[in-house]
Amino acid sequence: MCSASTSTTSSSSAIAPIRPSKWRLRSEAVSFAIAIQGELGSNSELAVREFFSDRVSSPTIVPCRTFDELFDAVHDGVADGAMAPLENSLVGSIHEVWRLLVERPLPVFGELRLRITHCLIGLPGTELGQIRHVRSHPQALAQCERFLHELADVEVEAVYDTAGAVQMLAKSGGPHDAAIASAQAAIDHHMHIIARDLSEGENFTRFLLLGDVAADQTGDCRKTTLVLQMADSAAGMAAVLTHLQNHDLQVLKVETHKRPGVPWSFDVYLEVAGTTSETETRAAIEGLHTFSAACHLIGSYPMGQDIEPRIQTRS
């Protein structure tokens, strides 16, 4: 059955309405804080900056080392909201974030799709042929896999953040060390960009803005995101898609993912055009309990746009 803003299954098949009036919209606030996974200069920080670029007040950034800490920051009141990466156009969904959206729900205010431009960053004067050790976040390493494969005799090390890797480089790196991160991270730490555009193909990461934040829910095109928990059955998935088709709902995303520790079951990441404030959309979503063990409503929110981040020189 479908549930909203709860990590447990309700005894009723109806989903609780999403009412933005219950959430504190603080677009005129003097100050507010947004948590990110990573450090200043990370793509998450660039996403926050772009999301709030047309607002008078810029948020304070609360860096977190892990996604669990990011959700903790909002639930514990350390931050008003969070910018969480949900999926990447090259390597797919970030399953840990999907899991936390189910287990520790937060309101969703919006999304954006940020263009990702990975750079190989070294100490000033470093050249490509000198590099023997590269650090970055696992997602960035996966997105630059071919580039890294073509480098000779290079050790790759996964760390908690792209910009964090540049911090390590600036603090204790040598002429054979490098990091993969944004140009912003290189500029922030006065490092040298050895190579740009390391990933193959168009690279975008989709971010969700979560929590009690300064944002306006505007835009005509909206979507609804859900997670279904289902038995491992092709027939069950087919029934879900037929049900949505019968309600004339456009499916924007459907992805299955095996549930860790639960044999013969999987999660379905599902997105449809429309919002739960629309009668037909709501009826269709409420009907999904028939086909699933649990249905978690993540939220209804305006569709995002592709954004090219702006790089700044800052003190």
Burial of 100 by CB count in 10 Å (0-12 exposed, 13-18 middle, 19+ buried)? buried
Binned at pLDDT 50, 70 and 90, residue 30 comes out as low
Please, what is the average pLDDT of the chain?
Answer: 89
* Res 314: pLDDT: 85
Burial of 31 by CB count in 10 Å (0-12 exposed, 13-18 middle, 19+ buried)? exposed
By C-alpha distance, which of 255, 248, 118 is closest to 178?
118
Comparing 24-115+204-215 with 119-195, is the CATH topology the same? yes
- Tell me the pLDDT tens digit for each residue of 207-257: 999 997 654 555 568 999 999 999 877 888 999 999 999 999 999 999 999
* Res 32: pLDDT: 87
Binned at pLDDT 50, 70 and 90, residue 25 comes out as very low
Instruction: Using the predicted structure, report yes or no on whether residue 61 has a pLDDT greater than 90.
Output: yes
- Tell me the pLDDT tens digit for each residue of 73-90: 999 999 999 999 999 999
Beta strands in the chain (DSSP E): 2-4, 33-37, 60-64, 81-88, 92-93, 108-115, 119-122, 133-136, 155-158, 177-181, 192-195, 204-211, 222-231, 251-258, 265-273, 294-302, 306-307
- According to DSSP, residue 130 is labeled G
Q: Which residue has the tokens 């003097």?
A: 30
Instruction: Using the predicted structure, report yes or no on whether residue 193 has a pLDDT greater than 60.
Output: yes
Backbone angles phi, psi at 213, to 5 degrees: -125, 170
By C-alpha distance, which of 41, 293, 8, 255 is closest to 168?
41
3 state SS of 148? helix
- The number of CA neighbours under 13 Å toward the Cβ of 123 is 13
Q: CATH homologous superfamily of domain 24-115+204-215?
A: Periplasmic binding protein-like II (3.40.190.10)
Average pLDDT value for residue range 145-151: 96
Residues 163, 42: contact at Cβ < 8 Å?
Answer: yes
Q: Please give the CATH number for the structural domain made up of 222-302.
A: 3.30.70.260
| Ranges of each domain in the chain | 24-115+204-215, 119-195, 222-302
* Res 219: pLDDT: 58
Q: Which residue has the tokens 């919002």?
A: 275
Q: Which of the pair, 234 or 198, is modelled with greater confidence?
A: 198
Q: Which of the pair, 13 or 123, is modelled with greater confidence?
A: 123
Q: What is the distance between the alpha carbons of residues 55 and 31, in angstroms, rounded to a whole number?
A: 12
Q: What is the number of residues in the chain? A: 315
Average pLDDT value for residue range 194-210: 97
Q: CATH homologous superfamily of domain 119-195?
A: Periplasmic binding protein-like II (3.40.190.10)
- Tell me the pLDDT tens digit for each residue of 94-121: 999 999 999 999 999 899 999 999 999 9
Binned at pLDDT 50, 70 and 90, residue 151 comes out as very high
- Alpha-helical regions (H) of 173-278: 183-188, 234-246
